[in-house]
Chains A and B, each alone.
Chain A
Amino acid sequence: MIPLSAYLILSFILLGLGIFGMIIRRNLITVLMSMELSLNAVNVMLVGVDSHIHLVDGQVFSLFVIAIAAAEAAVGLGIVVSIFRLRRVDSTDELTDMRG
């Protein structure tokens, strides 16, 4: 029986690395990949807590998260390809129309 804190620590590390990658990466596709990493960290935490308290609701939620992540990958990559086709850029630094 693996303790709950092991799952939580692994999930924290993966989520922090994913959010850090979303902040520091500039390529649009690698930003999306870092977001996939964060979603997987959430899945690890759901399944870990689930196996600890002997429920299955967390597994159902992680199935939902996987489905939504597939839809997010489709729409996000479509947006990235559309941005590339319109602007000829692949970096977040050049998308400064809103002065962000």
Chain B
Amino acid sequence: MLSWIAFSAFSAIAISFSLGVVFASNPIYVILCLLSVLVAIAGIFFVAGAEIVGAIQLLIYAVAVTVFYVFVLTAVPWEKALKKDSHYRVEGVLSFPLLIALYGQMIFTFLLGISASPKGEFKRLISSFGSTEVVGGILFSKYILAFELVSLVLLVGMIGAILIGRKESQTYDSP
């Protein structure tokens, strides 16, 4: 009962602030709404019993990634952007049936796949240990190759971000 109340509250916060992410006009308001959504989703993770994922969500998403977005939003002179007429306004309205079709497809897939339910093989292990120990054990035994690949992807992404975001000596609007 208590978990239902917590789940409902966090879901209401997440959905209402994600409406803010989609419809707010100022990018600073959008990043604040996104931060609220991330904290609410971390609460949902704690309700679901995934403590390590909730902690990582709070540490990496709600701190590191959000601060990164705020840095880019504040450090780049966006007011110097060239304003032109927006020429895709009708297409934006026309994309709304696409969302309805997407929801319909997801509901169809959900109804199709709700009968398939796999058996849990780590149920006894989880009941004997806590969740975090089991996650660590699985992560460093069964998914050790994927873990190393993710570290490689992070390294390549860091190098790529430095290379892409570096100051060019010559731009298009410099003579």
| Complex alpha-carbon distance, A77 and B74, angstroms | 13
Residues in chain A near residue B69, CB distance under 8 A: 29, 32-33, 73, 77
| Complex alpha-carbon distance, A19 and B138, angstroms | 32
A14 to B: closest C-beta gap in Å:
6
Residues in chain B near residue A13, CB distance under 8 A: 15, 18
B72 touches A14 (CB 8 A): no
A61 to B: closest C-beta gap in Å:
8
A60 with B143, Cβ < 8 A, contacts A23-B92, A90-B78 known: yes
B165 to A: closest C-beta gap in Å:
4
B123 to A: closest C-beta gap in Å:
4
| Complex alpha-carbon distance, A68 and B146, angstroms | 12
A78 touches B161 (CB 8 A): yes
Known contacts A64-B143, A73-B65, A81-B164, then 13 further A-B pairs from the complex at CB < 8 Å, ordered by chain A residue: A14-B14, A20-B22, A29-B30, A36-B38, A44-B41, A57-B142, A59-B50, A62-B53, A71-B154, A75-B164, A81-B165, A84-B76, A86-B172
A residues lining the B interface (CB < 8 Å): 1-2, 5-8, 10, 12-21, 23-27, 29-30, 32-34, 36-37, 40, 43-44, 47-48, 50-51, 53-57, 59-60, 62-64, 66-75, 77-82, 84-91, 93-94
B residues lining the A interface (CB < 8 Å): 3-4, 7, 11, 14-15, 18-19, 21-22, 27, 30-31, 34, 37-38, 41, 44-45, 47-50, 52-53, 56-57, 60-61, 64-65, 68-69, 72-73, 76, 78, 80-82, 84, 86-88, 92, 95-96, 98-99, 102-103, 106-107, 110, 114, 117-123, 126, 131, 134-135, 138-139, 142-143, 146, 150, 153-154, 156-158, 160-162, 164-165, 167-168, 171-173
